Amino acid sequence: MIDPIRLEKLTVRYGRTTACADVTLAVPAGAVYALLGRNGAGKSSLVRCLLGEQRPSAGRAFLFGESSWKSRRGAMARTGVVPEDPDAPLAMTARQLDAFCRRVYPRWDSDAVAARLERFGVPPRTAFGRLSKGQKGQVMLALALGHSPELLVLDDPTLGLDAVARRALFEEIVGELADRGTSVFLTTHDLAGFEGIATRVGILKEGRLVVDEEIEALKSRFRRIRYANRLTETRTAFGTELDSFDAPRVRVRGWGIDAVVSNFSDESFERFRAIDGVENATAEPLSLEEIFVAVAGEEKGDKR
C-alpha cells in the first residue's frame, strides 16, 4: 500500500535562513503522526510543502505517491485539510460553504457535514466571519471531512479552543479513526491531548527532524534518573557516572543529579546502579511533553 505521506530530504530555505533541512519521513496508512516543534522550528514550511502550497528548495514531498508540487489534484481529492488559520470566505455561511464544496468534490456528504456542525453547535446560517475562533475551526473540520478523506492533515488544531471545543475535536477524530481508519498528520503544541491518540511522533528542532519514532518505543527509552550528590564532591566532573547513557539533559541540584536519559533499559539501569554511590538512584517515566522539552527545549549551554 502506498504511504499517504512521504517526505524525501525536504529542505526549505528563505535566503540564508534554513526553515527545514533534509527532512525524510513517512506516514503509513492508518497512522496518526504528530509533528512537534517549538515555534519557528519549521513545521509550517513543512506543511505548506506537503500540501503543494510552496515549492521546496530541495527534496520532495509526496501525497499518495504523487509529487505535492507537480500533481496534487488527484491526491488532494483524498485529503482533508484543516489549516492553522481558518481561510474560508468571511461572508459565506456554513451552509453556503457546504453547497460550494458539494460542487467541487465528486463524493460529498452534506448530511455528514450538517450532523457534525450540529454536534459542534455551530449555527449553519451565520456568516463565517462572525463565528468564534473555535466555531471557525469546527466548520473547517466538518468541511475537511465532507468528502470522507483517507488522509486528514491538521495544522495545530487545538490552538485557541476552549475545553469543550477541544473535547469535541478529539471525539470527532477518534470517531473518524474508529469508523474509517483515516490516516492523520498533525502539528500540535497540545502534547497531552494527543498523547493517547498519536501512534508516531516526529520532533523538529531548528529545521531538523531529531525524533521520528513510534510513540511507545519513544516513551520506553526515555527516563528521568535522579540520585543523591554524595559522590560528585570527590569528582571533577559532575555526572560522569552517567557516561554509559545518552543524557540529553543533566542538571546538578542541591540534593544531587537530575538527568534525562534517552537510551534507558532495565539492564543498563541495573548496571548503572551497581556503581558505588548511586545505589539509591531512581528512574521515572516521562510524559510526551517532558520528552519534548528535553529534546527540543534545551537551551544552549544547558547540556553538560
Partner 1 sequence: MAGLRIDPSDATPIWSQIEEGVRRLVASGALAPGVAVPSVRDLASELRVNPATVAKAYQRLTDAGVLTVRRGEGTYVAQEPPELPRPERTRLLRQAAVRFASLAATLGVSAEEAAAALQFAWRSLGREKAGRP
Q: Which residues bind partner 1 (CB under 8 A)?
A: 30, 32, 167, 170-171, 174-175, 177-179, 192-193, 195-199, 216, 219-220, 222-223, 266, 269-270, 280-289
Q: Which is nearer to partner 1, 64 or 269 (CB)?
A: 269
Q: How far is CA 238 from the centre of its chain?
A: 34
Residue 89 three-state SS: coil
- Minimal distance in Å, beta carbon 87 to partner 1? 28
- Minimal distance in Å, beta carbon 217 to partner 1? 10
| Residue where the block lists cell 517532558 | 290
Q: CB burial class (10 A; 0-12, 13-18, 19+) of residue 221?
A: middle
- Minimal distance in Å, beta carbon 108 to partner 1? 24
- Minimal distance in Å, beta carbon 72 to partner 1? 28
Exposure class string for 271-284: b at 16+ Cβ within 10 A, else e:
ebeeeeebeebebe
Q: Which is nearer to partner 1, 64 or 194 (CB)?
A: 194
DSSP 182-225: -EEEEE-S-HHHHTTT-SEEEEEETTEEEEEEEHHHHHHH-EEE
Q: Which is nearer to partner 1, 42 or 193 (CB)?
A: 193
Q: CB burial class (10 A; 0-12, 13-18, 19+) of residue 229?
A: middle
- Minimal distance in Å, beta carbon 277 to partner 1? 14
Q: Which is nearer to partner 1, 124 or 175 (CB)?
A: 175
- Quick one: which of 87, 112, 111, 110 has its CA closest to 98? 110
- Minimal distance in Å, beta carbon 22 to partner 1? 29
Q: Which is nearer to partner 1, 192 or 237 (CB)?
A: 192
Q: Which is nearer to partner 1, 110 or 282 (CB)?
A: 282
222, 285, 198, 11 alpha-carbon torsion, rounded to 10°:
-30
Read off the C-alpha cell for 165: 471545543
Q: Quote the CA–CA distance of 262 and 298 in Å, as a whole number.
A: 14
- Minimal distance in Å, beta carbon 269 to partner 1? 6
Cα first-last separation, the chain:
45
- DSSP alpha helix (H) spans, 3-130: 43-50, 72-76, 94-104, 110-120
- Minimal distance in Å, beta carbon 273 to partner 1? 8
Q: Which is nearer to partner 1, 102 or 273 (CB)?
A: 273
Q: Which is nearer to partner 1, 205 or 223 (CB)?
A: 223
